[in-house]
């Protein structure tokens, strides 16, 4: 959370979203945080990657979950929707740096067999680059 002074000397609290980073022309990486940012950030990423012709995904996505300690069913639905959009566009979603709490949800729901995971962001990026950034 950041404090923003509106110019009249008073400060109000406002959440600021971490901006996804263009790692390369074809890879987007985002560091996610717990609510309320998580829902908004996943929605923004979904809209951003669908900016190609016909709404098709234009970039691979790496989601860094190091700042996330809780994930709800609505977040899982957002992740599945994002994955579908990427796969339909010939792109890949890699999730990395999950806490034990979030990883246990993935295991219990069986989503550990649906998504691709990496230990950390650098491993995720290396995986995409070694695969030749499929779909580029």
Say what the pLDDT of residue 22 is. 67
What number is the average pLDDT over the span 113-134? 88
More confident call, 119 vs 49: 119
> For residues 114 and 26, what is the distance between their CA atoms, to the nearest angstrom?
22
pLDDT score for 130: 87
Is a pLDDT exceeding 80 seen at residue 14?
no
Q: Is 94 exposed, middle or buried (0-12, 13-18, 19+ CB in 10 A)?
A: buried
Contacts within 8 Å (CB) and 24+ apart, 50-56: 50/85, 50/89, 52/89, 56/88, 56/89
Return the DSSP state at 132: T
Residue carrying the six token digits 């993935």: 106
Strand order in the sheet with 21-24: 21-24, 27-33, 60-67, 93-96, 116-118
- Residue 10 and residue 51: Cα distance in Å, rounded? 39
> Per-residue pLDDT for 51 more than 80?
no
Q: What percent of the chain has pLDDT over 90?
A: 61
- CATH architecture of the region 18-130: 2-Layer Sandwich (3.30)
- Split at pLDDT 50, 70, 90, the class of 104 is very high
Tell me the mean pLDDT in the region 85-98.
94
> Would you kindly state where each structural domain of the chain is located, as residue ranges?
18-130
> Vertex 94, ends 89 and 96: CA angle to 5°?
160
Render pLDDT for 22-39 as a digit per residue (tens, 0 to 9): 667 789 999 999 988 999
As a whole-number percent, the residues of the chain with pLDDT over 70 amount to 74
Structure tokens at 22: 């263009």
């Amino acid at each position: 959370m950041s404090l923003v002074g509106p110019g009249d000397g008073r400060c109000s609290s406002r959440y600021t979203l971490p901006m996804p980073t263009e790692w390369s022309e074809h890879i987007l990486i985002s560091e996610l945080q717990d609510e309320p940012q998580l829902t908004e950030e996943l929605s923004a990423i979904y809209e951003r990657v669908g900016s190609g012709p016909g709404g098709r995904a234009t970039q691979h996505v790496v989601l860094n979950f190091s700042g996330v300690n809780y994930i709800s069913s609505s977040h899982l639905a957002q992740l599945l929707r994002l994955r579908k959009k990427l796969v339909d566009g010939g792109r890949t979603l890699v999730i990395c740096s999950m806490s034990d709490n979030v990883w246990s949800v993935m295991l219990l729901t069986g989503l550990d067999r649906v998504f691709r995971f990496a230990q950390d962001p650098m491993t995720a990026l290396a995986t995409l680059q070694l695969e030749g950034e499929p779909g580029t």
